[in-house]
Chains A and B, each alone.
Chain A
């Protein structure tokens, strides 16, 4: 589960300790539990912690699946 941090816009991941900037801390969620976590998202949006939440799809080995999410996790792929 990920979102952008309201203050910085940085990508954050939902972890057992709350929202974290590190994807390694992220809680892996089973698809059947999504509804429960959606409630957390709504709450944290209301509490002005996060914005623009979205679920990150993982492959069978638990790695981030799409390039878009990989870039959201690791940052731009070019030298700036």
Chain B
């Protein structure tokens, strides 16, 4: 795990001091809200519907047990005893008080955490595959590259006031678990002969105008990564629109210019930069890679024994993955237990999970962009004990990748921009489909829910996407089908008129019936069927003879 250098520590301490002063000036009336807003946003502090919200960065989703304990402590001391893990692998506290925020940031700085780059028109926290460095299907661990980019991008003087926010994600393998194709820049580590480099994708994104990113470089040498990113960002910074917030993201620029023209401009700019100041040398790269070496995990032949406990067996099947070191497993902790808001964890769960991580997983925890947590290195011989501990904490729901493992934004329960609630929808789904056997029969299905068109709940790339709308003061939900954020990414297609919250479950049931009816084998998952039969077949069953579905 990356450790702060003295310089990092100084920068963060300086930033806390600076923000303390800014808050003081705001409270004393020396600066207005208009002046204060950009300052607080640069420190991750939003004003939501009925409270402030502080978004804390968890770079590429990696947390130590010490950091998790600190988050639990902050939840108890300054908030309402819980935190919400987000789709960008960060955590949000929903109830901090303005005068406390500098203290919170100071406490965070003691465990090498901060809230920088979690808001504003800058390069945001870089996200990565939550299984980085843990599986055999990987070309290379993306985390060191995230860290290299983080170092370059933090407080980059030219890129602190971009036309709009800017999100980068990296994957180290073909199986994309980081949703790189719906990011402003997506990087994929690939191997060409004996060399490793990057495929570069730009202009992906969700929100009002969703786009899948387009490839602009088939093989970028590692040494050129920062120069190339600088070239992309410079092009965007110069040409991206600043007159219309809805047209300011890089995806709009790429689509207006056309990908070929955009690539040409980037290449031109890159030529001027390449082999210059930002070229990475092997020593620098290796120095960063050192931080991400695996802990001392023992290789052994121990397998997970089947138990007489069916709950445990289900959980093993659903929530564990073999670690690349034989005899060990990766444990996925679902934050989607019944009746809990997706992604929420209370302070007691966080404290105890930190202890579990210390005892069984070298003190490491990860956050996934699907709002779950990971214990990255657990010995197979100790996995029953881990399950037992997690079960006591209500953290052993066996539903990873199943229908109740929804992604869901905070929606109108918290968010000032929302047009409808999203958490109650996710809870309805959890309640309705709670039986593990039934979920398993349906196979892997991603349901993603957003409370407005900003799409923080990634509904555009849900196999079933749900978007909350306001129709004459009433909550309605539009369904999209066929979205995916994987390597074969696609934007979901709108199925038709929206549904009231009461009829939404009936509609989902009908969609699932169509899927089940059209499966040609048990192995067919939802996307396979959708891509084979198309949306019309789903529409027919959804709106025909239904009486009143919507």
Tell me the A residues contacting B by CB distance below 8 Å.
Answer: 4, 6-11, 45-48, 51-52, 65-68, 71-72, 75-80
Cα-based distance from A68 to B51 in the complex (angstroms): 14
> Are B29 and A4 in contact, CB atoms less than 8 angstroms apart?
no
Given A71-B50, A79-B339: A66 and B99 interface contact (C-beta under 8 Å)? no
Cα-based distance from A80 to B343 in the complex (angstroms): 12
Ordered nearest first, which 10 A-B pairs have the shortest CB separation?
A9-B52, A9-B51, A76-B413, A48-B29, A11-B50, A8-B97, A78-B423, A51-B33, A72-B50, A7-B98
Report B-chain residues with C-beta under 8 Å of the C-beta of A68: 49, 412, 418
> Are B49 and A6 in contact, CB atoms less than 8 angstroms apart?
no
> Are B27 and A6 in contact, CB atoms less than 8 angstroms apart?
yes
Given A6-B98, A77-B413: A48 and B26 interface contact (C-beta under 8 Å)? yes
A46: shortest Cβ distance to chain B, in Å?
Answer: 7
Report B-chain residues with C-beta under 8 Å of the C-beta of A77: 413, 421, 424
Cα-based distance from A68 to B413 in the complex (angstroms): 8
Cα-based distance from A66 to B99 in the complex (angstroms): 31
A22: shortest Cβ distance to chain B, in Å?
Answer: 14
Given A9-B48, A71-B412: A78 and B341 interface contact (C-beta under 8 Å)? yes
> Are B475 and A67 in contact, CB atoms less than 8 angstroms apart?
yes
Given A67-B475, A78-B341, A80-B344: A9 and B421 interface contact (C-beta under 8 Å)? no
B359: shortest Cβ distance to chain A, in Å?
Answer: 29
Chain B interface residue count, CB cutoff 8 Å, equals: 32
Report A-chain residues with C-beta under 8 Å of the C-beta of B341: 78, 80
Tell me the B residues contacting A by CB distance below 8 Å.
Answer: 26-29, 32-33, 47-52, 80, 82, 95-99, 339, 341, 344, 412-414, 418, 421, 423-424, 427, 473, 475
List the A residue with the shortest CB-CB distance to B426: A78
> Are A10 and B50 in contact, CB atoms less than 8 angstroms apart?
yes
Report A-chain residues with C-beta under 8 Å of the C-beta of B473: 65-67
B547: shortest Cβ distance to chain A, in Å?
Answer: 26
Report A-chain residues with C-beta under 8 Å of the C-beta of B33: 45, 51-52
Report A-chain residues with C-beta under 8 Å of the C-beta of B95: 9
Given A9-B97, A9-B98, A51-B33: A78 and B427 interface contact (C-beta under 8 Å)? yes
Cα-based distance from A6 to B27 in the complex (angstroms): 8
List the B residue with the shortest CB-CB distance to A74: B50
> Are B413 and A78 in contact, CB atoms less than 8 angstroms apart?
yes
Report B-chain residues with C-beta under 8 Å of the C-beta of A67: 412, 421, 473, 475
Cα-based distance from A7 to B475 in the complex (angstroms): 31
Report B-chain residues with C-beta under 8 Å of the C-beta of A78: 341, 413, 423-424, 427
> Are A10 and B51 in contact, CB atoms less than 8 angstroms apart?
yes
> Are A9 and B47 in contact, CB atoms less than 8 angstroms apart?
yes
> Are A7 and B99 in contact, CB atoms less than 8 angstroms apart?
yes
> Are A72 and B49 in contact, CB atoms less than 8 angstroms apart?
yes
Report B-chain residues with C-beta under 8 Å of the C-beta of A80: 80, 82, 341, 344
Report A-chain residues with C-beta under 8 Å of the C-beta of B28: 48
B416: shortest Cβ distance to chain A, in Å?
Answer: 8
Q: List 16 A-B contacts (CB under 8 A).
A: A4-B50, A7-B99, A9-B51, A9-B95, A9-B96, A11-B50, A45-B33, A48-B26, A68-B418, A71-B412, A71-B421, A72-B50, A77-B413, A78-B413, A79-B339, A80-B344
